[in-house]
């Protein structure tokens, strides 16, 4: 497992300098490199934010263009516009002499336009296919790009596509499962996705936010599973959901302590708090239970925040 300690703060560097022979010039250089963001970093951040926002608005405009003008456009115009945008974007991304950042953004836009073209084809020819088939094909065509390009936003789109495909499949094909069983499958699926992305990209700091986002979504699904099960009568499914969540949370607590990251500890703590409260709500009935539940929620969250602050402070002082 990789260790990702947070960068030292200014106070920590100054305390270290007082008890060492660290020269003032070295202190200023270290503060500039590890603590402060210089003009170049801010300009780079603004560049990528504006570039991503521009591409996102452009893709939204393409989607809304088809939605608003669908009845007025002839068939060839629909197919030609969608296919032409896809072809131009893909060719520019592959052949034009661009910087790596811009090339990855355009390739991500190409993957999004693949879905637009598939949707237009389905509507023009009225294939009658279920919605999950659209997202399944979209995921299949996006897989080669994801395998070749290590770009977090593209991987996020792929994860969203996979989740959408699974959810729509369980709703449209008519799988004879109850809601909790379907949610358990969704939890296991996202747990596998998190494990794959973590093992492949945990060493890359650019993917840290994506790994945490998938972990947060997985914990949310686990918490919803517990809430759903606590309000139902299927005890075996509730027991399975609790068992799977417990195993994952034990591993995440160990991971958070090893990496000295409060993220996994915070996620596990919040999920456990809500799980216990929902189980309490199942066991106890009455208006007074809701009153106790509110105080318990506020108190437990406050204690968790204080503990994580203390733990993070002790890690920084080591």
Mean pLDDT of the residues in the chain: 78
Cα 251 to chain centroid distance, Å, stands at: 19
CA–CA gap between residue 225 and residue 189 (Å, rounded): 14
pLDDT confidence bin for 26, thresholds 50/70/90: low
DSSP symbol at 202: T
Closest by Cα among 76, 106, 79, 82 to 94: 106
pLDDT confidence bin for 125, thresholds 50/70/90: low
Residue 170 is predicted with a pLDDT of 80
pLDDT at 216 over 80: yes
214 near 190, Cβ under 8 Å?
A: yes
pTM of the model: 0.77
The dihedrals phi and psi of 258, each to the nearest 5 degrees, come to: -70, -45
pLDDT digits (tens, 9 = 90+) for 240-288: 888 888 999 999 999 988 888 889 999 999 888 888 887 777 766 666 6
Residue 9 is predicted with a pLDDT of 54
pLDDT digits (tens, 9 = 90+) for 35-87: 555 676 677 667 667 766 777 777 777 777 766 666 666 777 777 777 887 88
263 near 222, Cβ under 8 Å?
A: no
Q: C-alpha angle 242/194/93, rounded to 5°?
A: 155
Residue 294 is predicted with a pLDDT of 77
pLDDT confidence bin for 192, thresholds 50/70/90: very high
CA–CA gap between residue 184 and residue 167 (Å, rounded): 12
154 near 203, Cβ under 8 Å?
A: no
DSSP symbol at 178: -
Identity of the highest mean pLDDT range in 95-104, 176-185, 229-238: 95-104
Residue 1 is predicted with a pLDDT of 41
Rounded (10°) CA dihedral 288, 289, 295, 301: -170
pLDDT at 100 over 60: yes
pLDDT confidence bin for 299, thresholds 50/70/90: confident
């Amino acid at each position: 497992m990789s260790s990702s300690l947070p960068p030292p703060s200014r106070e920590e560097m100054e305390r270290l300098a007082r008890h060492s022979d660290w020269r003032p010039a070295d202190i200023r250089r270290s503060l500039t490199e590890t603590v402060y963001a210089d003009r170049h970093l801010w300009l780079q951040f603004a560049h990528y934010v504006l570039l991503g926002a521009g591409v996102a608005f452009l893709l939204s405009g393409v989607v809304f263009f088809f939605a608003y003008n669908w009845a007025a456009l002839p068939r060839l115009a629909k197919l030609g516009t969608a296919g032409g945008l896809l072809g131009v974007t893909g060719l520019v991304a592959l052949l034009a002499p661009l910087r790596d950042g811009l090339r990855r953004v355009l390739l991500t836009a190409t993957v999004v336009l693949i879905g637009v073209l598939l949707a237009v084809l389905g509507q023009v020819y009225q294939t009658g296919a279920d919605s999950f088939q659209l997202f399944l094909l979209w995921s299949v065509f996006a897989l080669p790009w994801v395998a070749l390009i290590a770009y977090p936003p593209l991987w996020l789109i792929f994860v969203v596509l996979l989740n959408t495909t699974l959810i729509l499949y369980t709703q449209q094909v008519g799988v004879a499962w109850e809601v909790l069983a379907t949610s358990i499958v969704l939890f296991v699926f996202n747990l596998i996705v998190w494990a794959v992305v973590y093992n492949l990209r945990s060493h890359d700091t650019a993917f840290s936010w994506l790994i945490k986002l998938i972990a947060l979504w997985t914990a949310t699904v686990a918490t919803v599973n517990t809430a759903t099960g606590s309000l139902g009568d299927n005890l075996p499914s509730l027991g399975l959901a609790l068992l799977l969540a417990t195993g994952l949370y034990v591993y995440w607590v160990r991971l958070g302590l090893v990496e000295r990251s409060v993220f996994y500890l915070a996620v596990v703590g919040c999920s456990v708090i809500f799980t216990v409260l929902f189980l309490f709500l199942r066991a106890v009935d009455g208006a007074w239970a809701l009153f106790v539940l509110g105080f318990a929620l506020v108190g437990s969250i406050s204690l968790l925040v204080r503990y994580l602050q203390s733990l993070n402070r002790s890690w920084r002082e080591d």
